[in-house]
Each structure stands twice: as C-alpha cells, then as structure tokens.
Amino acid sequence: MQLAQRIEAVGSGRGLAGWRERVAQVLRRDPLASRDPRAGERFERLLARLVRWTCGRDEVDEAYLHVHADGLVFLVLAARARYDEAFEEELSALDLELACDGDLRFRVDVIALPRGADPREVLHPPLVSVRIGGVLGV
C-alpha cells in the first residue's frame, strides 16, 4: 500500500499537496534542514517509518505527526484508557530508535495519550498535522 493511502493532511482542505507545501516551509526555517538538500526525502522516510510502525497495532486508536515551528511530535492516541506497560515499552523503543538514527536528522518527540484524552490540552496547535492510520481517502 502506498504511503499516500496511509496518511491524511488534517485541517488543510488542500490534501497532501497543501500539507507538503507547509512541511517544506517548516523545513526551510529549520537551521539544519534548510542546509540539507535531502531534508524533504528524509522527512518522507520518517513518515513512511511511522506509518509502518503504526499499521497493524491494535493498541493504536489514532496516530498523528504534528509539525510545530520548534520540531516534530509523533502523537499516539492509545486504544485503551488504561496504562499498558508493553505498549509503553514499544513506544520508548521507537523513541530511542528515532533518536539514534543518524540518517534521520530530525528530532521527534514520541508521546502517547490514553483513549479519551484531548491532545489540545498537551500540545500547542501545530502548523501541520498529519493523521497516520488505515486506508484513507486522500
């Protein structure tokens, strides 16, 4: 399944084209990414990696990659309201993998919230938000 079938730009009204344009603007403002001619390609690989990680996990209700002026946040809304130690360990392992990936070159904060939590209470409004999940009409 193609990447575009697994992601959806949230709130742009312009679909993936508008989302990619906003991401490019954010990357141009980042001191490291603005000097990296492969930043867009690296970002696409990050997104594909998050899609692969998310797919098929019953513990994930929804997942988003939020692009803020000060960085990236991978937000996972858990399928359960109760704490799941094994799932939290998987998230921690993903966080560590992303931090240690020398080719990635983006700082990504990995955050999980239980079912029913409101992400707006935790995060600043993002510049760009991408929903990661099942087959979507994009």
DSSP letter string over 1-18? --GGGTEEEES-SSHHHH
- Position 51 scores a pLDDT of 87
Give the orientation angle of helix 15-29 with respect to helix 39-54, to 10 degrees.
120
- Is the residue at 112 inside a domain? yes
Has residue 138 been placed in a domain?
no
Contact 76, 117 (CB under 8 A): no
| Residue 41 CB contacts under 8 Å (≥ 6 apart), including other chains | none
> Quick one: average pLDDT of 34-62?
84
* pLDDT recorded at residue 64: 86
Structural domain that includes position 68? 3-132
Give 135's pLDDT tier (boundaries 50, 70, 90).
very low
Residue 65 has pLDDT above 80, yes or no: yes
Mean pLDDT, the chain, integer: 76
What pTM, to 2 d.p., does this model score?
0.76
Structure tokens at 76: 């996972």
- The answer to whether position 66 is within a domain reads yes
Looking at the domain assignment, is residue 48 inside a domain?
A: yes
What is the C-alpha separation between 130 and 138, in angstroms, rounded? 12
User: What CATH code is carried by the domain that includes residue 104?
Assistant: 3.30.460
Q: Residue ranges of the alpha helices (H) in 12-112? A: 15-29, 39-54, 85-100
The pLDDT, as a whole number, for residue 12 is 47
Counting the structural domains of the chain, the total is 1
